[in-house]
Structure 1
Amino acid sequence: FTSYLSWMMPTSENTRLKLLVLSSFQNDNYEITGGADMVYSLSRTMVDTEAVGLGLYFRSNDAIILSPYYQYNSFTAGLSYDINISGLSAATKTYGALELWLSYGFNISGYRKQIKSIPCPTF
């Protein structure tokens, strides 16, 4: 069983805070990861969305994860660095783990939130 919960709230005109929890359970094994992303919008128009973000997460009894990323429309690319806080520190010689990732968000419903654009006057 796997569940993913997230909630995003604006903190200013250009920033938003995204809270999330990911949990996975299989027989007697489980993993729970929780944390937050601070997202800064570089551009939000009716056509394009561009943002950068920084996430900080805690994976139960295992690691602290730092994850900077860049988002352009449905594509997001980033790095994740796991800092071990468990017995696995010896196995990784306390270096942790570095991951490069790319994701694409599918819009199954076809809904796209319209962002109002106010054109600037030209003189």
Structure 2
Amino acid sequence: MTTEPHLTLFSRCLLSKWGFNDGDAPEDWLGYCEDLGIDYSRLDFPLVALVRTYLLPGIEQDVTAVDIETSHNPIRVETVDGADVREVWYGRAPEPTLTPEYVDVPMADVLRLALAEAGLSKPPRLTPPVALS
């Protein structure tokens, strides 16, 4: 039995400035693209869309998410069940528990969102190296 490749989004990443790999594309995504010959350098990793589409709808607590223009984690929750949790982002307050702990997103859906954000119908392909003579 083969398992379809997936990306795991952890709920607690919503509570940290450094969550979701500090906003960088995860290695699992990069490896998936390489395996399929996709040039991931020409696609933005769709983190915010993934979190809004797959993780936030499953969170059992009442949360308010915000997008942040930053070089770090660009999507976080600022309230959990009505309580302001922005100090948690920097480790200055106790972290509330968010459930479920994580959601898994099929890599095919990650690719679909990345293509949609880029306005592409097909993924950009890696160009084969040119043989030197």
Q: TM-score range by the shorter chain?
A: under 0.3
Q: Could you say which structure has the greater relative contact order, defined with CA pairs below 8 angstroms and 6 or more residues apart?
A: 2
Name whichever structure is richer in strand by fraction.
1
Alignment TM-score, normalising by the size of structure 1: 0.26
Structure exhibiting the larger radius of gyration computed from Cα positions = 1
